[in-house]
Structure 1
Amino acid sequence: MSSPCDPQHAPAGDVGAALLMIDSRLKGVYDGKTKTDPEQQALIDQFTASLGPEGANAVLDGACTLIFMFMKWLRMAHEDHDKDVIEYVVPNLVATMRMMPKSVRPEAIPTMAGLLVAAGTDLSPSLWRKQYGDWTKDEMTPLEVTAFLLADYINRVTDDPDFATRLITEALSSADED
């Protein structure tokens, strides 16, 4: 029986824009910058402001698609080693989020953990979240943090600082060819 949270029913959103934002954050961290460059942040803020409500929702759906795709890749990688992605990835990311109280308020962590579990069990994070109402402004940064931490986790597992970004761009390229 198909679930109402089945990924085939979910909008993919603007995965490219979401990936651009996550990749930009990754590069900043990997370059040793502890704070976002003010000029870069101004560009991100300008881009976000230019989206309008529909564009912002598309980027939001795109971030959920990234989370789903990252967790799918991690699930397959963990299964290759007879390990459960939820057992290994979710506690790691939750512990990291708990150490980031300025970016991820404690009350947002259960929602982000739920998104990870939904994606880890092959459900759409955006449709799973939609069951509980609209996204709140306070959940936007934690959502970005969640996608960022997943990408960073993948990059560390593969020992390749561009692997997560390349994984998505290759998937998008092959989808365009189909």
Structure 2
Amino acid sequence: MSSPCDPAYAPVGDVGAALMMIDSRLKSVYDGRAETTTEERALVEQFAVSLGPDGAAAVLDGACTIIYMYVQWLRMACEDHDKDALEEVVPSLVTTMRQMPRSIRPEAIPTMAGLLVAAGIGLSPNLWRRQYGQWTEAEMNALEATAFLLAERINRLTGDREFATRLIADALSAPEAD
């Protein structure tokens, strides 16, 4: 029986915009600038306002799509080494998020763990989350951090600081026939 949270039913969202935000954050951290500047925050705010409610929802769906794709890649990579992706990824991401109390509210962390588990068992993270109501403000930073931490983990595993971004970009540019 098909689940209502099957990825086939999920909106893909604006993966390009979500990827741009993740890649920007990765580059700033890799450049040694963990904190964003006032100018960068203003640009992000301006970008968010320009999206409007529908555009922001599309970016949110895009971030969930990226999380799903990253978790699927990690699942396949872990299986190649007879490891369980959820066992390898979820605890370390939760621990990292718990160490970020200024950015991530503790009540958002279980939702992010749930998103990872949903993706790890083949469910759409955004459809899984929707069954519990609207996204909260506290979950927005946690969602961004989850996508960032997954990308950074993939980059570390591959030894390539641009692998995670390229993984998604290549998937976006692949012909639909694939």
Give the TM-score normalised by structure 2. 0.97
Q: CA deviation at 1:34?
A: 2.2
Confirm whether residue 91 of structure 1 aligns to residue 91 of structure 2: yes
Question: What is the distance in 2 between the residues matched to 1:153 and 1:139?
Answer: 21
**Could you tell me which amino acid in structure 1 is paired with residue 12 of structure 2?**
A
Give distance in 2, aligned partners of 1:137 and 1:34: 22
Residue deviations 1:81-134 (CA, integer Å, cap 9, x gap): 111000000001000000000111111100000000000111000000001001
| Alpha-carbon distance change, 107 to 77 in structure 1, aligned in 2, over 3 angstroms | same
1:160 aligns with 2:156: no
Structure 1 residue 138 displacement after superposition: 1.4
Q: Deviations over 1:49-92 (max 9, x none)?
A: 11111000000000000000000000000011111000000001
| Aligned amino acid, residue 113 of structure 1 | A
For 1:103 and 1:120, how far apart are their aligned partners in 2? Answer: 25
Root mean square deviation, CA, Å: 1.0
After TM superposition, the score normalised by the length of structure 1 is 0.97
Query: Which secondary structure state, in structure 2, belongs to the residue aligned with residue 100 of structure 1?
Result: coil
Query: How much does 1:44 deviate?
Result: 1.1
Q: CA separation in 2, counterparts of 1:34 and 1:109? A: 21
Which residue of 2 is the match for residue 112 of structure 1?
112
Q: Distance in 1 between matches of 2:152 and 2:88?
A: 15
In the other structure, the counterpart of 1:28 is 28
Q: C-alpha distance in 2, partners of 1:148/1:38?
A: 20
4+ residue segments displaced more than 6 Å: none
Q: Percent identity?
A: 70
What is the aligned partner in structure 1 of residue 65 from structure 2?
65
After TM superposition, the structure 1 = structure 2 runs for residues 41-80 of structure 1, keeping only pairs within 5 Å, are: 41-80=41-80
Which runs of 5 or more residues in structure 1 are unaligned?
Answer: none
* Aligned equivalents of 1:15, 1:142: Cα separation in 2: 18
Cα displacement (A) at 1:38: 2.1
**In structure 2, how many angstroms separate the alpha carbons of the residues matched to 1:63 and 1:22?**
9
Q: Distance in 2 between matches of 1:60 and 1:11?
A: 10
**Superposed displacement of residue 6, structure 1:** 0.3
Alpha-carbon offset, residue 176 of structure 1: 5.4
What count of residue pairs does the alignment treat as equivalent?
178
1:135 maps to 135
Q: 2-side partners of 1:35 and 1:82: how far apart?
A: 37
Task: Report the AA paired with residue 82 of structure 1.
Answer: D
CA distance in 2, matches of 1:27, 1:154: 14
Secondary structure in 2 matching 1:55: helix
User: C-alpha displacement at 1:37, in angstroms?
Assistant: 2.4
Gaps of 5+ in 2: none
Name the SS for the 1:141 alignment partner: helix
Deviation at 1:177, TM superposition (A): 6.7
Structure 1 Cα separation of the partners of residues 91 and 163 of structure 2:
22
